[in-house]
Amino acid sequence: MGSQIKAFVFDVYGTLFDVTAIKKECEELYPGYGEKISQSWRAKQVEYFLLRQLMGNYATLQSITRQALKYVLKEQGLEPDEKNEQQLLEAYLRLPLYPEVADVLSQLKDKKLVVFSNGSHDMLDPLIEHAELQTLFAEVLSIDDVKQFKPAPTSYEYALEKLGIESHEVLFMSSNGWDVSGAKNFGFQTAWINRKNLPVEELDLPPDYIFKDLNGLLKWQ
């Protein structure tokens, strides 16, 4: 299968960038709550874009991320505060890369590397520039262009059309179970970057490859 790969397509949040690192900023603003806020925030963000996709009620991930944060602060009994919210949303534009990412991507620089994210360009572009990855990627694709969130098949269809290749010629990487399942469901080859050593999702859509981090991709170097 590997020989057919014409594009290496990467999810962003949780796959290239560590969304849990934001607990540091959360902890500074809300001492004692950093871990809880950061975990619940991510979970609520994912829930909200799944729900909006299901309800046919689109909003950008930027807007959803803000709404998820508002909810989580209220849930924890903390006073929503526009200044703190703004500060945390800005921290989302400077999330750190996982340690191996820059090195692995550099070693794969002869391949066609593409980003495909639920993030809107107002979140994605600053993030990728801050990490100095922009020259490594042939394209940065956002579902915002079609307003269809992953894992809806319509979202992967958009990426495929932009790439102009066949679905089985895509190797799609994500650390998110829902994303790697959705990509497999659509027809991509998939590599699950299982950073947290979790079980495979019980969705009858096992990934083609499982790696503990991106170093597993070096077999295609």
Q: Which stretch binds its own copies (CB under 8 A): 87-95, 99-107, 137-145, 180-188?
A: 180-188
11 is catalytic: yes
Q: Which residue, 125 or 201, is less far from its own copies as judged by CB?
A: 201
Three-point CA angle 130, 134, 135, nearest 5°: 135
User: Does residue 133 bind its own copies (CB under 8 A)?
Assistant: no
SS3 of 3-29: HHCCEEEECCECCCECHHHHHHHHHHH
User: Does residue 67 bind its own copies (CB under 8 A)?
Assistant: yes
User: Does residue 218 bind its own copies (CB under 8 A)?
Assistant: no
Handedness of CA 48, 52, 57, 59 (dihedral sign): positive
**Which distant-in-sequence residues (6+ apart) come within 8 Å of 186 by Cβ?**
153, 156, 157, 160, 167
| Phi, psi (degrees; rounded to nearest 5) at 8 | -100, 110
Q: Which stretch binds its own copies (CB under 8 A): 32-40, 84-92, 122-130, 148-156?
A: 148-156
Binding test (CB under 8 A) with its own copies, winner from 58, 137, 178, 220 = 178
Q: Which residue, 123 or 128, is less far from its own copies as judged by CB?
A: 123
Cβ(191)–Cβ(210) under 8 Å? yes
Short-list 147, 169, 121, 153, CA closest to 7: 169
User: Does residue 68 bind its own copies (CB under 8 A)?
Assistant: yes
- Cβ 158 to its own copies, closest distance in Å? 15
User: Does residue 220 bind its own copies (CB under 8 A)?
Assistant: no
User: Does residue 57 bind its own copies (CB under 8 A)?
Assistant: yes
Rounded CA-CA distance 208/190 in Å is 5
User: Does residue 81 bind its own copies (CB under 8 A)?
Assistant: no
Binding test (CB under 8 A) with its own copies, winner from 53, 62, 117, 189 = 53
What's 114's DSSP letter? E
User: Does residue 75 bind its own copies (CB under 8 A)?
Assistant: yes
Which H or E element spans position 65? helix 61-75
Please report, as ranges, the residues that interact with its own copies according to CB under 8 A: 47-48, 50-57, 59, 67-68, 70-71, 74-75, 151-153, 178, 181-182, 185, 198-199, 201-205
- List residues with catalytic annotation: 11
